[in-house]
Amino acid sequence: MRDSNIIMSDTDTDPNPIVRRAEEVTYESVELTDGLSMGMLLGDAQDTPHFDMRRFILDPGQKVPEHTNTVEHEQYVLEGCYEVGIGTENFTVYPGDAL
């Protein structure tokens, strides 16, 4: 249980909180494969120069081709399950899993 007397503060003396509503996010097809779309939740347009948060939607039965990334990123599964390969290992992930 959180102590209601504890106040968390940002180190910024004038923080500019961002709340991005789900209905504000637009999704575009990703050319990497059919049945994959992406919505930019937080990025340059929201003035977050050091952080991007994206939501990907992969249609059932579709696969993302093997590829590499030049930046570190995280994934969190909201619904469904999928298999992801990292290096020589494959992992099946389910809702609530993070990698």
> pTM of the prediction?
0.75
> Do 66 and 52 form a contact (C-beta atoms < 8 A)?
no
d(CA 61, CA 63): 7
Q: Is the pLDDT of residue 12 over 90?
A: no
pLDDT digits (tens, 9 = 90+) for 15-44: 778 899 999 999 999 998 999 999 999 989
> Do 57 and 37 form a contact (C-beta atoms < 8 A)?
yes
Helices (H), 1-99: none
Q: Is the pLDDT of residue 1 over 70?
A: no
User: What are the residue ranges spanned by the domains of the chain?
Assistant: 17-67, 69-99
pLDDT digits (tens, 9 = 90+) for 38-96: 999 998 998 888 888 999 999 999 988 888 877 778 889 999 999 998 889 999 999 99
